[in-house]
Structure 1
Amino acid sequence: MTCRLQSLASSPEYLNYEDGKFSKSRGMGVFGDMAQDTGIPADIWRFYLLFLRPEGQDSAFSWTDLMLKNNSELLNNLGNFVNRAGMFVCKFFGGRVPPMELGADDKRLLAHVTLELRQYNQLLEKVRIRDALRCILSISRYGNQYIQVNEPWKRIKGHDADRTRAGTVTGVAVNIASLISVMLQPYMPSISATIQRQLCVPQACNVLTDTFLCLLPPGHQIGTVTPLFQKLEGEQIEALRKRFGGGQPEDSTLELKAHAARMASADMTPPGPGGGAVLAGDPQKVKELAEEVAKQADRVRQLKASKAEKGQINAEVAKLLELKKQLALAEGKTPEPPAPKGKKRK
């Protein structure tokens, strides 16, 4: 079964899970009632699922990609920009938005932001939710580049002209952060509210137009600024991948045992890869299973040669072992027990 994301105004394609499909009966994938137990905030889930929303073609949830998007797009891009803009106001200007004297570079930035804002509005009108979200990330990237090029932390220590320039850059940056807080509301409501609380964004600023304007005026007092996101670590993600990688739910254990008993009483082996029962000594089934084993063995070798992710390789090895077991049963043999972990059979 695949998990289909639905919208009142549009019908997207299918979202798959890693290299397979979502399956609650097999414990494959994270479902709504499980997500809160992962320790990952709800807004991160909202962001990632909307970021890869399968609007034009199928897409796949990936734990590694979730970690990368959180750490790059949210932590290092959006979160970094909003945090720096607010911190500069607090550290260099006593928590009040400084006066801004806009030059050619500043106006060019405002024009870029306006283009992204207009694109965002148009995309949401067309229910292209994923692409509209990417407009927000583009704006924060522009903001980071703007800060990095102008280096207000250096200019604030210089002469009057440099300090004025530092004030302009800081004022423009914190106004862009305010705009981002409004644009994020449909996607990450908790993060949006946190930014607005930190920057003390007035209610009147919560309306989007097609033109970006600096609505936080000089002298506007902001609040305490703290980081918005936390880094996701590889060990944490690997543990979650294993946890939701296909283990049988506890409530299905009895059903599985009953099924095995029925198969045994009928003098059959468990179902083969095609879904039908495999009778011991059936030459056709033996041939089919031998071919499946050969194909799966080739796939495992290719994954190892290409240095694929460990979790993906382990999943394919498990499939290979199961196919070998089915083949042995079809040949009337007793399946070999799995080799101890870390040791190879001679």
Structure 2
Amino acid sequence: LEPSIRTWFNTVEGGWSPPARAVTRSWLRDSLRARALTRDLKWGVPVPVPGYTNKVFYVWFDAPIGYLSITQCFTQNYEKWWKKDKDYDVKLYQFMAKDNVPFHGIMFPATIIGVNEGLTLVDHIFATEYLNYEEGKFSKSRGVGVFGTDAQETGIPADVWRFYLASIRPETSDSSFSWTELGTRNNSELLNNLGNFCHRSLSFCASTFKGVVPDMTLTDADYELIALVNREIAAYVSTIERGRLREGLRHVLSVSRLGNQHMQAAQPWVLLKGSDDDKVKGATAIALCCQLVALLCTLLAPYVPATCRRLREQLNIHEEALRINPQKPSLVRYLPAGHTIGKPEPLFAKLEPELIDKLRAKYAGSQSDRAKQNGEVAQTAAELEAAIAAQGEKVRKLKSSTTDKSIWQPEVDKLLALKKQLSSLPAQQPAVNNKASSDSVADLEKAVAEQGDKVRKLKSTTKDKVVWQPEVDKLLSLKKQLTEAQTKQKSSAANVASSGSSAADLEKAIAEQGDKVRKLKASTKDKTIWQPEVNTLLDLKKQLAALQVNNK
């Protein structure tokens, strides 16, 4: 299939975005290698071949076939879309992140070429680069950024989100989401430029002509404006056909900007108070601006559909009447003279700086960071350790069942995120810290033994230092407390000896300390635990020997 794929790609790559071309070319730089189409998993579409029914199809072999089946669910004439038909000129456009280009630029086309049933191959793949968040990267696993439900909770209209994200779409290089820029673009481009022009134009028509669109007597200045607008429309159609949605939006705003400039230059509110000729010019200016509002409603429909529905109601016009001829893109008279518009209303609202600052602070950092700031209870170390162990087991099983990185990498990312979350937890001191002064040496020795056992078990189950290191730290802290307690005990014993202890007292203390040492050595091989007690025993024996010499 490789020669056919290369030939086909050479004929269509001109209609692909730069990221899509770059990714596909990197795959074709060397000879293509065979890829497994099945997986040994419990979930998925079973392979309907005897001897292979215990396997399932690889998801990226199976999923693109759904493009055909979903069309069949929509219409019985689905083959007119997916097979060449003399009555229909179908072009297939696909939009995606660049990570998915290999499946749509190599694998699925290979499938279509291989079955040889004349199915439609993709004409245009528009892949994007990465969208970053403020000064860092979006991360779904760590909750860094603002996502669908978050956007909904902000109360900012969906069309504002759609407009802003389209205006920063990473079509040729990485771009970055910024709360400040979101507020600025809403207030300057949507509110002051686009919304202001539409509302002023329709309001003049409503207040001056009772909502009836006046006739136009065009002047050279008007024809000049129309020529400039037509240039923007042609550029808009060209960029949209090439998948440049961000650039297409720029041409829409240029039309609005031209309309604002024309209204300011014509000053219809002044002309309508002048001579009869002036009144005709004023009426023409308002009518032409209303035509531009209808044009803007047409151009903006893919970007801000809800706003365009409201604007169509204000224009009192059906959606079918607002069309652009792609073969001859130009301004047409959408609103005939005598057409009655609806009630003009503002389309957008200002986003106050205080709201933007509040949202930026609310969605700063990761979800765990925000939980801490909001006083929420984050996962404990024990809960995270359990989650890491379970996720680690899941990753090991996936890696043992397939070498396909695209399957297990998302699970690896989750595992790394959990480990990072665990390592970011504040160092927790063991509970005995809070009452170290009242704990006996025996209590601390017991705690050290139990913690040491816990560490040994963790180390035997995983080599991942991130999992067991926090427990090691607790163990070292307990040992430090034990050493301090033993030092105090030793000092106390020395004080007893120096205050005139009898040989009998020392012999009793030595017997008790010797018994203690024997029990410790029997319970653990960890020298750091019992060596201090051995030192205490030796010191007691030394005191007894010195006392016996003096008594002679």
In which range does the TM-score fall when normalised by the shorter chain? 0.7 to 0.9
TM-fit CA distance, 1:64? 0.4
Structure 2 partner of 1:126 = 242
Structure 2 partner of 1:21 = 137
Measured in 2, the distance between the counterparts of 1:246 and 1:49 equals 21
Structure 1 partner of 2:296 = 180
> Which residue, 228, 232, 239 being the options, matches 1:112?
228
Q: Measured at CA, do residues 117 and 252 of structure 1 come closer, stay the same or move farther in structure 2, by a change above 3 Å?
A: farther
> Structure 2 regions of 5+ residues with no counterpart?
1-94, 99-123, 385-421, 429-467, 476-552
Q: Measured at CA, do residues 49 and 256 of structure 1 come closer, stay the same or move farther in structure 2, by a change above 3 Å?
A: farther
Structure 2 partner of 1:235 = 354
Is the 1:81–1:143 contact (alpha carbons within 8 Å) kept by the matching residues of 2? yes
Aligned partner of 1:172: which letter?
L
Is the 1:27–1:245 contact (alpha carbons within 8 Å) kept by the matching residues of 2? no
Q: What is the 5 A alignment of 1:299-338?
A: none
- 2:120 aligned with 1:43: no
Structure 1 partner of 2:378 = 253
- 2:256 aligned with 1:151: no
Measured in 1, the distance between the counterparts of 2:145 and 2:258 equals 35
Structure 2 partner of 1:87 = 203
TM-score (norm 1): 0.73
Is the 1:176–1:214 contact (alpha carbons within 8 Å) kept by the matching residues of 2? no
Is the 2:294–2:322 contact (alpha carbons within 8 Å) kept by the matching residues of 1? no
Percentage of matched positions with identical amino acids: 42
TM-score (norm 2): 0.46
Is the 1:27–1:244 contact (alpha carbons within 8 Å) kept by the matching residues of 2? no
Measured in 1, the distance between the counterparts of 2:96 and 2:195 equals 27
Is the 2:145–2:366 contact (alpha carbons within 8 Å) kept by the matching residues of 1? no
TM-fit CA distance, 1:247? 4.3
What per-residue deviation string (whole Å, max 9, x for no partner) do you get for residues 235-261 of structure 1?
Answer: 000000011001434598215565456
Cα RMSD of the aligned pairs, angstroms, is 2.2
- In terms of mean alpha carbon deviation, does 20-29 or 172-181 score higher? 20-29
- 2:215 aligned with 1:96: no
TM-fit CA distance, 1:156? 1.1
Q: Secondary structure at the match of 1:9?
A: strand
More helix by share: 2
What per-residue deviation string (whole Å, max 9, x for no partner) do you get for residues 181-229 of structure 1?
Answer: 0111111000111111101123442211211122211110000000000
- 2:193 aligned with 1:77: yes
Q: Secondary structure at the match of 2:301?
A: coil
Q: Secondary structure at the match of 1:16?
A: strand
Aligned partner of 1:36: which letter?
Q
- In terms of mean alpha carbon deviation, does 37-46 or 213-222 score higher? 213-222
Structure 1 partner of 2:471 = 265
- Larger relative CO (CA 8 A, sep 6+): 1 or 2? 1
Aligned partner of 2:470: which letter?
A
Measured in 2, the distance between the counterparts of 1:24 and 1:122 equals 35
Structure 1 partner of 2:287 = 171
Q: Secondary structure at the match of 2:128?
A: coil
- 2:125 aligned with 1:6: no
Measured in 2, the distance between the counterparts of 1:175 and 1:232 equals 29
Q: Secondary structure at the match of 2:367?
A: coil
Measured in 2, the distance between the counterparts of 1:102 and 1:15 equals 46
TM-fit CA distance, 1:9? 3.2
Measured in 2, the distance between the counterparts of 1:203 and 1:254 equals 52
Q: Secondary structure at the match of 1:190?
A: helix
Larger Cα Rg: Structure 1 or Structure 2? 2
Is the 1:75–1:231 contact (alpha carbons within 8 Å) kept by the matching residues of 2? yes
- 2:33 aligned with 1:33: no
TM-fit CA distance, 1:25? 4.2
> Structure 1 regions of 5+ residues with no counterpart?
270-346
Aligned length: 266
Q: Secondary structure at the match of 1:158?
A: coil
Measured in 2, the distance between the counterparts of 1:35 and 1:83 equals 27
Structure 2 partner of 1:57 = 173
What per-residue deviation string (whole Å, max 9, x for no partner) do you get for residues 312-342 of structure 1?
Answer: xxxxxxxxxxxxxxxxxxxxxxxxxxxxxxx
- 2:303 aligned with 1:212: no
Q: Measured at CA, do residues 23 and 245 of structure 1 come closer, stay the same or move farther in structure 2, by a change above 3 Å?
A: same
